[in-house]
Amino acid sequence: TNLVTGAALATINRLPVLLLPGDTFATRPADPVLQQLEVPYAGDVSVNDCLRPVSRYFDRITRPEALIQAALQAMRVLADPAETGAVTLALPQDVQAEAYDWPEEFFAER
């Protein structure tokens, strides 16, 4: 709940904050362990979904290559004084461990 409160305050006060919470596995159902509070009838809902209403931008990265578009959108929101607030990029545990060859163009100055 501390993260949700911080995200809400950042969004209300238009403070740019990037949140990178870990998430359940993208490729398989979560096993019942501590703090995996997912609901049994909706496999695509996780605890991180409580950050959706208090974030100016929310994305769950299900593949490493999806992070390119998500990062660009996140920076667009974070850099816009009129739209800024909490930006949440939820990173599932299995996606965190995947290797990815980033294209050079991504790192070009914009």
The encoded tokens of residue 51 equal 């950050």
Domain boundaries, the chain: 2-107
Cα angle 31-29-49, degrees, rounded to a multiple of 5 = 95
As its CATH architecture, domain 2-107 has 3-Layer(aba) Sandwich (3.40)
This prediction has a pTM of: 0.84
Q: Is the pLDDT of residue 24 over 80?
A: no
**Residue-wise pLDDT tens digits, 60-75:** 999 999 999 999 999 9
